[in-house]
Chain A
Amino acid sequence: MRGNGLREEYAQRRAQILEPLATRLVEHLQGNLEGIGRIDRVSARAKGVDRFLAKAAKALEDGGAKYEHPFEQIQDLIGARIIVFYKQDVDVVAEMVERYYRRIERKDLIPESEAEFGYFGKHFILAVPQDAVDDEADRDKTPKFFELQVKTLFQHAWSEASHDLAYKPGEPLSPLNKRQVAFTAAQAWGADQMFEQLHTELNGAPEVRASTG
């Protein structure tokens, strides 16, 4: 399915299945975060129609379609986020995720090279919990997985702003722009490092087990 047919089908699924499911996933995540402090916000959104179509149209290097079955292959049709204060809190939330959800993927999103700067956080692909799927739901059209990102406030701020500024199709960044984006990432990284230390010194929080970039 391509073109207008794909747009209409996705728009329909988005309104009837994905948006209500995103709302239930927020409630589900919030329920499992009860008692965990320093959660700034929990959100989930169904991927926008244009973004879905743009992703579905991506091609492989050989020119073939990257997603032959976009509804099943694109696993972030629903993307959820948990934003926390400090880096230690990312680990606490990640532990909650491991306890309550089945995952098929977990990564720390970090730049490929130590000489590069980008600042993203933790990423999971999780099975949609059965509690969030009504008995009456159309199971064939309900996604089996959703994406969850766990980020600090600074990781979130950097990735939102840099995504808005630095990923415009057909408008490559100049070398100066790239250095400026890298500088903001380094600033956000530095701020998190300082807050991590302060949180340890002033609140007695444990140090972060492994760097999240």
Chain B
Amino acid sequence: MAATADITLAQIRKGLYWRKQLDKVFVIVGLLVLFSCLGLLATLFIDLVHKGSSRFGWDFFMNFPSRKAERAGILSAWVGTSLIMFVTALVALPVGVAAAIYLEEYATKNWFTNIVEINVTNLAGVPSIVYGLLALGLFVYTLGFGQSVLSAGLTLALLILPIVIVATRESLRAVPKAIREAAYGLGATRWEVTKDHVLPYSTGGILTGLILGLSRAIGETAPIITIGALSFIAFLPPSPVSGDFPFLNFEWLKSEFTAMPIQMFNWVSRPDQAFQANSAAAGAILLGMTLLMNAVAIWIRYRFRKKINW
């Protein structure tokens, strides 16, 4: 009895020592993996900026694409991207917020609400190129919108709808029940409660969701290639503001277009080194915009969280 206890005690000590060493090894491995992933992102960004640095400048922003790499610019690309993002935000925000309000504030738990919820979850997992096929069949040909800014904006709106819906629902859910009940107690209807009390408190979360959605949409390439974005466009869509009555025109919605990621894709697939510098410059701008949007979203979330004290 005593002999066995002796042996096991020594063994336990030795075992414990090794097990603790293993713990330390894992900590090192974990940190290594974590920071090499983050390091890769940094490397990528630095490399893009470095390789593209020769191209940054007024001309690059104000020139149309060209067969000569050093004269090519991204004017039609960033204008196209801005117009598409405008349409996307204009569609995704109201539809997404309305759908979220319905699911969170109005819907009773039944089979129908279940179907809507399962759909929202599923749509988030559908590959983005499938949205492109949907848009090609539905918007471009069946509804006759053509290969236009409108088709692209609607497609990306459908694509980010789940993101907006989920973010809005989360921020609606964070509003305490007591606030709703206080308003109901004063005789407000459901819509009045939602519009005057719940929505103002959730603005931060909704904005965060919208910006995160747009930051996803801005980099999406596959669905708008499928619609038929052109990579060589040496003209701008008609201006949305005109000199004559009624001062606004919507011709730009029907215009053919190109976009930042499309332009980058077009340049990256050329073997010419000079075009790869263009591609790097376009990529750096695109990546910079994405990171900026994410930073703004995080900042808004932080600000609103700090401001609200239940």
- Same complex for A and B? Answer no
Q: Which residues of A contact B (CB under 8 A)?
A: none
